[in-house]
Amino acid sequence: MTKALNSDVESALHVIGGRPISRLFLVACGGSLSIMHAGKYFIDRQSRNLSCDVYNADEFVCRDPKRLDQNALVILCSQTGTTSETVRAARHAREKGAMTVAMTLDPESPLAAGAECVVRYRASYTTGIPIDAADSNYAILSMLLAGILRMTDGVDLIPPLLRNLECLQPAIDQAQEVFAPRFEAFAPRFKERSAIYTLASGPAYAAAYSYSSCVLMEMQWYDSQAIHANEFFHGPFEIVDEDACFIVLIGADETRRLAERARDFLLRFGSPENVLVLDAEELGLSGLNDAFKGYFAPLVFFDTLWRFAYRLAALRHHPMLEGRRYMKKISGY
């Protein structure tokens, strides 16, 4: 059975359809920003008529790009819809005459109230209730972007996208099985280390960014960094020794060979037991077509890697969400 186009996405596309859009801005903070990197990859690959920029929300407001005008569409995302920088960014975009779409869990939130269109998605992260990944912010963004692409470039990828979204949750469930023994083996080795880096290229950089910033640093207090798999060779690789811990995400997209090269270097100059490799070829993505295989691999990686983080948390006796000391705990900074 093919998924239906999300009804909020459909409504938003109807409103956007009335506007001459040639500039796309993807704006958010932290984990919500990370998915935008994959969105830009998709637009870069598919669109000739749409420029696409990704900005942290506060950077976006202060930088105030000159191209932000009535020909611009700004897609913003915040789980709770209360992230103050993102709420401000929506207001700023509207003042400049741009069209705004808010992605959020809460249609009553300040972000939703501040944007012209609201697109709801679901998350298990905050509720604890399992969702179908096709309803996640990552998947919903793909629907929005495919719809916009149809308008701006006359390329209709919505039918294959909807078929592909059917395969997504099964691929995630399968990945959990495939990687569980590997996580079990690596967690005791990574547990006492101070630093863990995540390497990726192309859309998989989205998963690396989110995992390093919002999981390893935020929830487990590791020194961490998402390093682009080729930039790795232009500085960061000098830190590699047999104790250095790396997670390498090898995507199913056009940049795959960049991450393969980083993996090969690490297996040669680091220690194989400290290099946790997740390869999209191990995922159950064979049902997906080429336009989306690369796009969805990062979502599978990211969902899977939560399990690894919980495993580390258990071994380190450092709880995940409850272990934070500043976020949502203190104010006035």
Question: Could you tell me the sign of the dihedral formed by the alpha carbons of 327, 136, 229, 197, in that order?
Answer: positive
3-state SS class at 229: coil
Residue 79 CB, nearest approach to a copy of itself (Å): 11
Whose Cβ is closer to a copy of itself: residue 11's or residue 49's?
A: 49
HSE-up of residue 134 (Cα within 13 Å, Cβ side): 16
Shortest distance, CB of residue 95 to a copy of itself, whole angstroms? 16
Shortest Cβ distance from residue 178 to a copy of itself (Å)?
26
Q: How far is the CB of 91 from a copy of itself (least distance, A)?
A: 16
The position carrying tokens 């149809």 is 150
Minimum distance, C-beta of residue 205 to a copy of itself, in the bound complex (Å): 9
Rg (CA), the chain: 20
Helix count (H) and strand count (E) of the chain? 12, 9
Minimum CB distance to a copy of itself smaller for 106 or for 173: 106
- Residue placing its CB nearer to a copy of itself in the complex, 108 or 238: 238
Residue 74 backbone zone (phi > 0: left; psi -120 to 50: alpha; other: beta):
beta
Binding site for a copy of itself (CB under 8 A): 23, 29-31, 33, 41, 44-48, 51, 53, 56-59, 62-67, 69, 85, 194-195, 201-202, 213-214, 217-219, 221-225, 228, 230-231, 233-240, 254-258, 261, 264-265, 268-269, 324-327, 333
Tokens for 45, please give them: 């690959």
Q: How far is the CB of 112 from a copy of itself (least distance, A)?
A: 20
Q: How far is residue 142's CA from residue 134's CA, in Å, rounded to a whole number?
A: 10
* Least distance to a copy of itself, CB of residue 198, Å: 11
Of the pair 317, 326, the CB lying nearest a copy of itself is at 326
Q: Could you tell me which residues come within 8 angstroms of residue 190 by beta carbon, excluding any fewer than 6 positions away?
A: 196, 245, 274, 276, 312
Q: For tokens 């990197």, what's the residue?
A: 37
Work out how close the CB of 166 gets to a copy of itself at its nearest, in angstroms, rounded to a whole number: 27
φ, ψ dihedrals at 29, nearest 5°: -135, 145
Amino acid letter, residue 60: F
Say if strands 245-250 and 72-77 run parallel, antiparallel, or are unpaired: unpaired
Helix, strand, coil share (%) of the chain residues, nearest 5: 55, 15, 30
The span from the first CA to the last CA of the chain, in angstroms, equals 49
